[in-house]
């Protein structure tokens, strides 16, 4: 099983190192072999070779079974031209691998319920929702530019979606909902955007082939509010690229911390891309403060989706659960009476619990 490893920038290298520790524990237990190949992307690649996504990285990723990614970006590269920004590398690798479906589960560990900023009673003991975010289209990838005008400048970013782009992501959502609570909420802005009206038409047509799955339609502003008011009403949220980006950060906080949530990006090919949903947190980089759990949970998703190793995926989730149960916390999820540990210690504790 070949895994391309992109550590990236900021806390990326630290959290990836811990995830690899956990993978090594899995490899030992199941006597299987993971072959790692480290490649450059983001700011680290800009510094070394002058571009955020070197050709070699694309090649290595395309020849792997899965890609593990930390995070990219940071203030150091904020003023480079837009096509050379670290984030441009991330968007391009998603496009190159054609991973159009970004699965972002927001699952709360019961041990963490006091870490949620929501009032007691709103979440109860659990939260388990899945955001299915379109990842290779929409406003992120449309024509964008700036021109000079008399009074200054004018900028645009074009948002467009085609019927096949919507249909393929919708089918992923229906498949996932079928294995869960059979309820999809399509989140859009159909009262204003033509894109959203097309999404509704395509999704509603597909829903006719899945009569056992309930489908709701909700405007994104309302959805942002409902996620706080009554998050338990959601099972699967299906949405476009930008709304999915925003709502997944919001949903992560319901569970206590952005540092806890993994993601899997899957698509046309067999190659999956696995990354935490958080960013590179340059303010705490290199200080052994970052929470590696989101990246470690992304490994669980990799085992589940790319390698069909369900039992191993559960081992990781159980190990994380056990460590939380014992009271270990990184800084971002620290609460009174718990034991504060650094990034490396957290990784060690979790890998030692893979037995
Ligand atoms: C994410 C991130 C990226 C995105 C950025 C870094 C380009 O916020 O994966 O959610 O917007 O997709
Ligand atoms: Mg984001």
For the chain of 355 residues, list the mean pLDDT of each consecutive stretch of 10: 97 98 97 97 97 97 98 95 93 96 94 86 90 98 97 98 98 97 98 98 98 98 97 97 96 89 92 95 97 98 95 97 96 94 98 95
| 281 in contact with ligand 1, CB cutoff 6 A | no
Mention every residue, 6+ apart, whose C-beta is less than 8 A from residue 47.
none
**Whether the predicted model's global pTM rises above the 0.75 cut:** yes
pLDDT at 95: 96
Question: Which residue among 92, 140, 161, 188 is the active-site one?
Answer: 140
CATH code assigned at 314: 3.40.718.10
Q: Tell me which of 254, 275, 290 is where a domain ends.
A: 254
Per the annotation, the verdict on 235 as an active-site residue is: no
CA pair distance 166, 187, nearest whole angstrom? 13
Question: Are β-strands 101-108 and 35-38 bridged in parallel, bridged antiparallel, or unpaired?
Answer: unpaired
29 with 76, same domain?
A: yes
| 277 in contact with ligand 1, CB cutoff 6 A | yes
Measured from the Cα of 135, ligand 1's closest atom is 12
CA pair distance 291, 112, nearest whole angstrom? 14
Question: Do the Cβ atoms of 6 and 67 come closer than 8 Å?
Answer: yes
Q: Does 109 map to a domain?
A: no
Question: Which residue among 65, 216, 249, 340 is the active-site one?
Answer: 249
Q: Does 106 map to a domain?
A: no
CA pair distance 254, 242, nearest whole angstrom? 19
CA pair distance 229, 164, nearest whole angstrom? 34
Domain total of the chain:
2
pLDDT at 121: 85
Nearest to 24 by CA among 316, 342, 264, 306: 316
12 with 73, same domain?
A: yes
Q: Does 210 map to a domain?
A: yes
123 with 249, same domain?
A: yes
pLDDT at 119: 87
The parent domain of residue 276 ranges over: 1-100+261-355
| 135 in contact with ligand 1, CB cutoff 6 A | no
Q: Tell me which of 215, 233, 254 is where a domain ends.
A: 254
Question: Are β-strands 262-266 and 272-276 bridged in parallel, bridged antiparallel, or unpaired?
Answer: antiparallel
Q: Tell me which of 254, 270, 297 is where a domain ends.
A: 254
């Amino acid at each position: 099983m070949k895994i391309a490893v992109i550590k990236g920038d900021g806390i990326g290298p630290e959290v990836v190192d811990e995830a690899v520790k956990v993978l090594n524990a899995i490899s030992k237990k199941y006597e299987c072999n993971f072959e790692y190949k480290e490649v450059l992307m983001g700011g680290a690649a800009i510094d070394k070779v002058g571009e955020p996504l070197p050709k070699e990285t694309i090649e290595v990723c395309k020849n792997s079974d899965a890609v593990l990614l930390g995070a990219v970006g940071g203030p150091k590269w904020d003023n480079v031209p837009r096509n050379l920004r670290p984030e441009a590398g991330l968007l391009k690798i998603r496009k190159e691998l054609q991973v159009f479906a970004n699965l972002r589960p927001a699952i709360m560990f019961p041990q963490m319920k006091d870490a949620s900023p929501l009032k007691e009673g709103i979440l109860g003991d659990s939260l388990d929702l899945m955001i299915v975010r379109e990842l290779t289209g929409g406003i992120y990838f449309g024509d964008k530019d700036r021109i000079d005008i008399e009074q200054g400048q004018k900028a645009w970013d074009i948002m467009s979606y085609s019927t096949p782009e919507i249909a393929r992501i919708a089918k992923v959502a229906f498949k996932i909902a079928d294995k869960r609570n059979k309820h999809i909420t399509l989140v859009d802005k159909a009262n204003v955007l033509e894109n959203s009206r097309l999404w509704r038409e395509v999704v509603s047509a597909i829903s006719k082939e899945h009569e056992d799955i309930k489908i709701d339609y909700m405007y994104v502003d309302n959805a942002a509010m409902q996620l706080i008011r009554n998050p338990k009403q959601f099972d699967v949220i299906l949405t476009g690229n930008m709304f999915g980006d925003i709502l997944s950060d919001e949903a992560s906080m319901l569970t206590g911390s952005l540092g806890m949530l993994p993601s899997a990006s899957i698509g046309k090919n067999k190659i999956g891309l696995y990354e935490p949903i958080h960013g590179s947190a340059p303010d705490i980089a290199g200080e052994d403060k970052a929470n590696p759990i989101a990246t470690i949970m992304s490994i669980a998703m990799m085992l589940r989706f790319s390698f069909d190793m369900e039992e191993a995926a559960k081992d990781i989730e159980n190990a994380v659960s056990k460590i939380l149960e014992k009271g270990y916390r990184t800084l971002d999820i620290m609460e009174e009476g718990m034991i504060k540990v650094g990034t490396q210690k957290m990784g060690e504790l979790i890998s030692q619990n893979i037995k």
